[in-house]
Structure 1
């Protein structure tokens, strides 16, 4: 198979229910849907068999957002919805045509930064269950 790749962006990242979702695509400088793997140790038995350790995959949506202190902006939305479970939709590249959807637990963004800069906030939202990948032909 020949090498294939895509260019990150332009894409989309929306938070919240369809119809009222907040599109934060223009506030995002970095976004990653990241798996984390956890595996228990195998358990050897007296007869020589081995009981395989349980393997689990969890997900998180991480990235960096340009802070926006406007009413209804990204900081306001994360503070208002802190601790709640909200749907998300992430399309790393609209040209590639693949989107990822699921639900996240919202954590509020940090506020502030260095004087005379445009502050950003790193975020990490745990994903509830497994995200769903949808590819359009």
Structure 2
């Protein structure tokens, strides 16, 4: 199998409900979906076995965007929507049938920086619920290309309810 790697962009980053989305790709220098898994603690039991409390998965949408002080810019949008949970769609490459959709909690971003410089603001929006990988044209979940179903989860007989 040959190695495949794609460049990020040209793509899209939209926030809001379908039909009233706001596009911010034009100023984005970096966009990332960052999952994080916190492994649950193991609890030893008298028999010598251990049971797991289970893992907790969280994620966030992060990035860096050129600052714009326009009334339709990202800074003002973040300020007006701070604390709101909004849907988003992130397309790393508009030529590929691949997008990330989900909901994030909006936070305010930095304003300003070096004088006479093109300053940027970094953003970090906490994911709400789970995100999904979809075909952006049909909004249907993606299926791994081999067609093989994912392996069933391993059931740990030592876990008690």
Instruction: Give the TM bin, normalised by the shorter chain.
Output: over 0.9
Matched residue count: 137
Per-residue deviation, 1:135: 3.5
Aligned to 2:123: 123
Per-residue deviation, 1:97: 2.1
Structure 1 runs not aligned, ≥5 long: none
Structure 2 runs not aligned, ≥5 long: 137-141, 143-161
RMSD: 1.4
Bigger relative contact order, structure 1 or 2, given CA contacts below 8 A and separation 6+? Answer: 1
After TM superposition, the structure 1 = structure 2 runs for residues 1-137 of structure 1, keeping only pairs within 5 Å, are 1-135=1-135
Kept in 2, the 8 Å contact 1:8–1:93? The answer is yes
> Normalized against structure 1, the TM-score is what?
0.94
Runs (4 or more) in structure 1 with deviation over 3 Å come to none
Between the aligned partners of 2:23 and 2:122, the Cα distance in structure 1 is 17
**SS of the residue 2:61 aligns to:** strand
* Structure number, greater radius of gyration: 2
Deviations 1:84-106 (A, max 9, x none): 00010000111232000000000
Which has a greater percent of strand?
1
Per-residue deviation, 1:16: 1.3
